[in-house]
Structure 1
Amino acid sequence: MTKMNKTDLLAAYLLVGSDELKQQRSVARLKQYLNPDFIDFNVEEHMSASTLEQESVLNALQALPFGDSRKLVIVWEADKLTKDVSETLVGYLADPNPSSVLVLIAHSLAKSTRLYKAVAKIGTKAVIDCAAKKKFALAGDVVNIAQTYGLHMDNAAARRLIFKVGESTVMLDNQLASLAARFGAGAAIHVSDVDAYVAQIAEVSPWEFLDVLCNRDFARSMELFQAMKSNGYVPLQMYITTCLRELICVKALQARGTAAHIASELGKQDWQIKNYPGFARKFAPGELEKLLKKSKELEWTLKNSSEKDTAFIQFIVAVCGK
């Protein structure tokens, strides 16, 4: 949101998307338009829309500001508004109070809803896109956030931070603030610094692990395994067993020249098996069958032995051809 004159503020804004940091910063910028001497009187913030009542929100919007020309009524989790309150806001936006600015923050709100359409009619800049970027495209944003704290971080360190913390921009921002407090402005943050000072709090998807394992990337497989083994060895082994069986099927279809039927034979969507042909080609004939046998042996060990960690690592070594 670019800085403008206070008189140019719209009667309503909708911040929609899962990028919480962008939402928080947009709200903070809107608050900067208010006279700081009277800001406590002119900001009414509701953290949970589900408990909001029609009369209270309407009274807040219709009330005049104190010692200023604008007031903010901020509603978080606007996608959880009751139908009655949502319809009240739709009616209000048809003829809004020029002294009030309604700020709705939602994780998701369909463009087809009456509330979305009512806000969109206020102006072309009334709806602010706060959609989160995909994981592969998030590193650049992390580098930029680091710069706001005076830190120098390359893409490798940013990707490592995302791996350890997850994709929440608020959590990433908090970790960067912590690193800035530790190292000071002007510091260069490397992968080793992230490993040393940032705890692993993000969960690793089993599908992400399977993709890396089937790509026979040993170093990355071990990294992901160490991050997710606390979720349970047996469920992970079951996922691997299923995947090996599917790859055996894929390899058989490739040998027959009917690879185009992979999705239908496995009962999956095309996007679910887009990497399977490449994975299958990485294994020699008969190799997947041997690994399937090893997987069953691993299952027995996990259920009957205390050497779970060693057994699983040995199995990863075998899958990766080490």
Structure 2
Amino acid sequence: MAASIPKISWEQVSPAPVVLVFGKESFLADRALQRLRALLLLEDPELEVHDVDAGQYSDGALELIASPSLFDEPRLVRVANGVKATDAFIADVLRYLAQPVDGTTLVIRHDGSTVRGKKMLDAIRQTPGAIEVVCQPLKRGDMVPFARTELRLLEREATPGAIAALVDAFASDVSELANAIRQVALDTEGEVTEQVVRTYYAGRVETTAFAVVDAVVAGDVARALVTLRQAIATGADPVPIVAAFAMRYRQLAKVSGAGGSDSQAARQLGMQDWQVGNARRDLRSFTDASLCDAIEAIATADAAVKGAERSPGHSVERLVRQLAARTA
């Protein structure tokens, strides 16, 4: 039996004789199809594209579509609805896999919600030269790496706080998250910061992470703990929450060492006047020693939520209590 074919993510997709796009996340599947078409067009602008609905397929259609044309243009055959494939389609694909047509790329989309077409899927996964693009729904912990990748593809730099804000606001829908990242990347210049995100998406980015941080800095520990526990109970990722703490306290540390007026300090630190003013107001609750202790506690919590301890949720709650105890 042939070895199983490679399983890759959407951004790794490249032309192959047969491509299986498998999984329930339609946004990632669409991304894979768009990337594959773009790559094939780069190879040959005369690419012919044909769309097939596997659920409405009639016998023999695949052979006609995939066969070389008079001028031998390359072909991309995109098959949707593989989860409802007709018996005729399954039979024709099994025949096709025995001898794929040169110059034709056959892409089959199957969301895996049923076992319909299992024999066909098994055959594709044993076909030499084929690839499988995995498009499963992203878990909460996958959203931060996804956001980083999106920004990298757009050639934009972003702070950890900005990424945390975006993920915290849009992680319920990967397509919304991607669109939000693209929009803020296209409409702003320079490094994308947490403040840029919060300003740009005012009203939407009333996020859990920053709500917890705001409550702690304001000295409202009870509200911080309630907000945090509700977030953890509904599946919030502790990593962006700790990142939000790190961003805020680094900002406090920068402002604490700056002299001059708010506007002078803002120019020196690359911040807005009002940001400096707010930070100086918050710093009234800290001594130099308590601020240093807080930053050390955040560094410890960052390691804890990234695997150093078994319970990230408990690590974040401990951080909230520690920071509350260290205000002046």
Question: TM-score by structure 1 length?
Answer: 0.52
User: Quick one: which amino acid aligns to residue 46 of structure 2?
Assistant: F
What is the percentage of aligned positions where both structures have the same residue? Answer: 15
In structure 2, which of residues 189, 194, 197 is the aligned counterpart of residue 191 of structure 1?
A: 194
Q: Are 1:38 and 2:42 matched, yes or no?
A: no
In structure 1, which of residues 8, 17, 20 is the aligned counterpart of residue 23 of structure 2?
A: 17
SS across alignment from 2:40: coil
Deviation at 1:138, TM superposition (A): 1.8
* Pairing of 1:142-181 with structure 2 (within 5 A): 142-181=147-186
In structure 2, which of residues 98, 101, 105 is the aligned counterpart of residue 101 of structure 1?
A: 105
Q: Are 1:84 and 2:88 matched, yes or no?
A: yes
Partner of 1:74: 78
Are 1:76 and 1:104, in contact at CA under 8 Å, matched by a contact in 2?
yes
Partner of 2:64: 59
Count of residues in correspondence between the two structures:
213
Deviation at 1:111, TM superposition (A): 11
Q: 1:80 to 1:216 in 2, by over 3 A?
A: farther
SS across alignment from 1:131: coil
CA-based RMSD: 4.3
Q: 1:144 to 1:126 in 2, by over 3 A?
A: closer
SS across alignment from 1:173: helix
Are 1:79 and 1:108, in contact at CA under 8 Å, matched by a contact in 2?
yes
1:141 & 1:158 partners in 2: Cα distance?
10
Q: Are 1:141 and 2:149 matched, yes or no?
A: no
SS across alignment from 1:79: helix
1:37 & 1:125 partners in 2: Cα distance?
23
1:98 & 1:120 partners in 2: Cα distance?
19
2:204 & 2:56 partners in 1: Cα distance?
35
CA offsets 1:14-66 (integer angstroms, 9 cap, x no match): 02124445433433343323454423xx11124x54334334334212x3146
1:51 & 1:136 partners in 2: Cα distance?
38
Partner of 1:118: 123
Are 2:161 and 2:194, in contact at CA under 8 Å, matched by a contact in 1?
yes
CA offsets 1:74-98 (integer angstroms, 9 cap, x no match): 1133223233322332232223323
Partner of 1:271: none
Are 1:19 and 1:168, in contact at CA under 8 Å, matched by a contact in 2?
no
Q: 1:25 to 1:111 in 2, by over 3 A?
A: same
Are 1:38 and 1:68, in contact at CA under 8 Å, matched by a contact in 2?
no
Q: Give unmatched runs, 5+ long, in structure 1.
A: 205-214, 225-274, 283-322
